[in-house]
Amino acid sequence: MNIAQLLHTCLRSILRNRMRSLLTSLGVIIGVGSVIVMVAMGEGSQRAIEDRMTAMGTNLLQIMPRRQMSRSGQQVQMRMNAFTKQDIQKIKDESSFAAAISGVVQTNASVTGSEGNAQVTVQGVEPGFIIARNWKIDSGVFFDEEDLRLRSTVAVLGSTTAKNLFADEGSALSGQIRIGTNYFTVIGLLESKGAGMGGNDQDDIVMIPLDTAMTRLSNSRSINMIVMSVAGKEYMEAAQKETELILRESRKIADGAASDFDIMNQADMIDMAQSTSKTLTTLLAAIAGVSLLVGGIGIMNIMLVSVTERTREIGIRMAVGGRKRDILMQFLTESVILSLMGGVIGIGLAFLACRIVAMSGIPTAINPLIVAASALFAALVGVVFGYYPALKAARLYPIDALRYE
């Protein structure tokens, strides 16, 4: 029997019982579709996390004071040894790897514009902040060292804040806002960044000079955080160790004593997020892959039933010269076609499901290698689970098969 005849015979047998063939392939359809969708959602989420963390700033170190417990009589208090301008200046003077550095003073405040007011995150920062955090100016300018030194009452707005406080972003530029009792002139608007890691709107923000924030808003010399971008990713570990040594010296921490601050490495956070996402994706794909095995068992079951139903047909084929190899190949090919048919339908449904999921706002990224691997695995399921029924059919004795009722 040549290949064309074999395929014609197998397809005719499958199409003879269309509904049963479709239901037989259902397990493979669900298995292949589930694997592709799960992996696509996992990889989409992984890319979204990476994009959001990269948007926060590349090669970024975030340095924050550590909360420490202190006991006063019967009371236990939490204290935080905040940073000072001297700490920041020492890093600027002595760091070998810093590309940009800025102190950050952050507070939530009621901000009023010409068209409304809103509760907004107000950050007092230095000019190096937008470089460290990978911000870009959409229109206008960012404040400079002169504004910092003079404690100028100037502000730069995120796109969400500009829309909430003014009629449009165009009228926001050169407009005035009020933070508490202080009036600020808007000199720049930031490019939109969208949602951050926690889903918070990064564009709902007001930036003012650090020294202005310390004197007019917080009335304190304390700095909540230091952000620092490193010249290259390959220097991250060295920069982190060097910065820790500089700050320990600046804050007069004795040798052997624990540091009273923490340094978070953005590259490590990205790697950790990617590793966690990959683990979850693999786990979900493995769970979805179980249905492929269930589908394979379904194919084996139906093929065994088919062998029983077609025993006389097998006997007739053998009686007119059909070889055992032909019978084996016929039933094995039927099994593979059923499995591949389920794989193709599953792939099509997976693409449709991914498109629907993406429209709902959940990121997806279909991996062509996973699609190809799923199709290959579906064919393998057909071979593995179809071999025993095919072998059983090939081993039938012609006389016994012809006498079967």
Mean pLDDT score, 349-359: 89
| The two three-digit tokens of residue 355, written as one number | 């498109």
Give the distance from CA 356 to its chain's centroid: 18
Average pLDDT, the chain: 81
Q: What's the DSSP call for residue 99?
A: E
Q: Report whether 96 contacts 111 (CB < 8 A).
A: no
E strands present in 20-175? 60-65, 67-72, 75-80, 98-112, 117-125, 137-140, 154-157
The CA R_g of the chain, rounded to the nearest whole Å, is: 34
Considering the entire predicted model, what is its pTM? 0.63
**Distance separating alpha carbons of residues 330 and 317, to the nearest angstrom:** 11
Specify the pLDDT at position 6.
Answer: 62
Domain chopping of the chain, boundaries? 3-52+272-403, 82-259
Specify the pLDDT at position 76.
Answer: 47
- For the chain, the straight-line distance linking the first and the last C-alpha, in angstroms and rounded, comes to 27
Distances (CA, A) of 31 to 27, 43, 254, 294: 6, 18, 60, 8
**Cα dihedral 302, 306, 307, 309 sign:** positive
3 state SS of 12:
helix
Cβ count within 10 A of residue 136: 11
Specify the pLDDT at position 286.
Answer: 78
Task: Grade residue 402 by pLDDT with cuts at 50, 70 and 90.
Answer: low
- pLDDT, tens digit (0-9, with 9 covering 90-100), for 206-224: 999 999 999 888 777 788 8
CA quadruple 321, 324, 328, 331: dihedral, nearest 10: 40
**Distance separating alpha carbons of residues 381 and 358, to the nearest angstrom:** 30
Specify the pLDDT at position 155.
Answer: 93
Q: Report whether 236 contacts 184 (CB < 8 A).
A: no
Specify the pLDDT at position 274.
Answer: 72
194: left (phi over 0), alpha (psi -120 to 50) or beta: left
User: How many residues belong to the chain?
Assistant: 405
**Distance separating alpha carbons of residues 236 and 266, to the nearest angstrom:** 9
Closest CA to 152 of 212, 200, 198: 212
| The two three-digit tokens of residue 270, written as one number | 């990205």
For residues 333-366, one letter each, b for 16 or more C-beta atoms within 10 angstroms of the residue's C-beta and e for the rest, the string is bbbbbbbbbbbbbbbebbbebbeebbeeeebbbb
Range with top average pLDDT, 56-60, 156-160, 298-302 = 156-160
Q: Report the greatest alpha carbon distance in the chain.
A: 106
- pLDDT, tens digit (0-9, with 9 covering 90-100), for 260-314: 888 888 767 777 777 777 787 777 777 777 777 777 888 888 777 777 777 777 6
- pLDDT, tens digit (0-9, with 9 covering 90-100), for 173-190: 888 999 988 999 999 999
For residues 192-231, one letter each, b for 16 or more C-beta atoms within 10 angstroms of the residue's C-beta and e for the rest, the string is ebeeeeeeebbbbbbbbbbbbbbebbbeeeebbbbbbbbe
Specify the pLDDT at position 21.
Answer: 77
* Helix residue spans in 56-128 (DSSP H): 85-94
Task: Grade residue 71 by pLDDT with cuts at 50, 70 and 90.
Answer: low
- pLDDT, tens digit (0-9, with 9 covering 90-100), for 30-50: 888 888 888 888 888 777 777
| The two three-digit tokens of residue 37, written as one number | 């969708």
| The two three-digit tokens of residue 223, written as one number | 């700095």
Task: Grade residue 375 by pLDDT with cuts at 50, 70 and 90.
Answer: confident
- Residues in contact with 328: Cβ distance below 8 Å, sequence separation at least 6, in sequence order: 390, 391, 393, 394
- pLDDT, tens digit (0-9, with 9 covering 90-100), for 82-111: 888 899 999 999 988 888 899 999 888 889
Mean pLDDT score, 123-140: 89
- Residues in contact with 38: Cβ distance below 8 Å, sequence separation at least 6, in sequence order: 281, 284, 285, 287, 288
pLDDT reading at 154 higher than 90 = yes
Closest CA to 302 of 337, 267, 343: 337
Q: What percent of the chain has pLDDT over 90?
A: 14
